[in-house]
Structure 1
Amino acid sequence: MNKLLVVAVLLALLAVSAESFRMPRQAKDEEGPLTQLCNTVKSYYSGAVNTVSDYVETIKGFKLEEKAKNLYTDTTTILSTYNSILQDQIYHLLTSKQ
């Protein structure tokens, strides 16, 4: 158990010391026109995606799907009632002449 603890501590120290030897990347001083164009397109694309995502989240917040289901249910209930009334009126029109 003690050997395992010593090995773990040594590995942790090795990892910390190895991380300190990393050299930072050096960026190019000049960007070409193709790189600038690609960066511009990427920024416009990410802006458009973020805007659409915001709109979708806003629409989900309105609970439109639930409202549409309620509207459909209410409409079919009302139409079935009026349909029954209309059928009854037609039936009485046809049977009263006999």
Structure 2
Amino acid sequence: MNKLLAITVLVAFLALGAESFRVLREAEEKGTVATVIDTLKGYYDKSIDTASSYVDTIKSYKLEEKAKNLYEETVSAVTTYSGIFGDQVYHLFYSDSH
């Protein structure tokens, strides 16, 4: 009887060990959905990294500073020429005919 009990316990341990090994192995293997999700995450991460590198490259060109300077020069020129145009219109309508 003791031998039967010992064999039963041994078989039970072996069965549990084999089942836990199978569950662990199934967890290690990825399914199709997991593979697709991992691939999409990889593409997303790569696109974010690429966009970040493009932004850094654009910042290195100092385009923001150049655009600011261009805006200031344009505003200055437009202000000057609009003043000249305003003076011309004023003198057109209110010229001295002496």
Range into which the TM-score falls when normalised by the shorter chain: 0.5 to 0.7
| 1:94 partner letter | F
Q: Of Structure 1 and Structure 2, which has the larger fraction of its residues in helix? A: 2
Within 5 A, what are the aligned runs for 1:5-24? Answer: none
Q: Percent identity?
A: 47
Alignment-derived partner of residue 5 in structure 1: none
2:72 is aligned with 1:65:
no
Unaligned runs of 5+ in 1: 1-25
TM-score normalised over the length of structure 2: 0.64
SS at match of 1:49: helix
TM-score, normalised with respect to structure 1:
0.64
Q: Deviations over 1:21-75 (max 9, x none)?
A: xxxxx982x3211221121111111111111111111111111111111011100
Give the counterpart letter for 2:46 in structure 1.
Answer: G
**Residue 32 of structure 2 is aligned to residue 39 of structure 1:** no
For 1:55 and 1:42, the matched residues in 2 are separated by 20
Alignment root-mean-square deviation, CA: 1.9
Structure 1 or 2, whichever has the larger Rg, is 2
2:58 aligned with 1:56, yes or no?
no
Q: Number of paired residues?
A: 72
Identify the residue that residue 77 of structure 1 maps to in structure 2.
Answer: 76
Q: Secondary structure at the match of 2:51?
A: helix
Alignment of 1:83-94 (within 5 A): 83-94=82-93
**Deviant stretches of 4+, over 3 Å:** none
Q: Extract unaligned runs of 5+ from structure 2.
A: 1-24
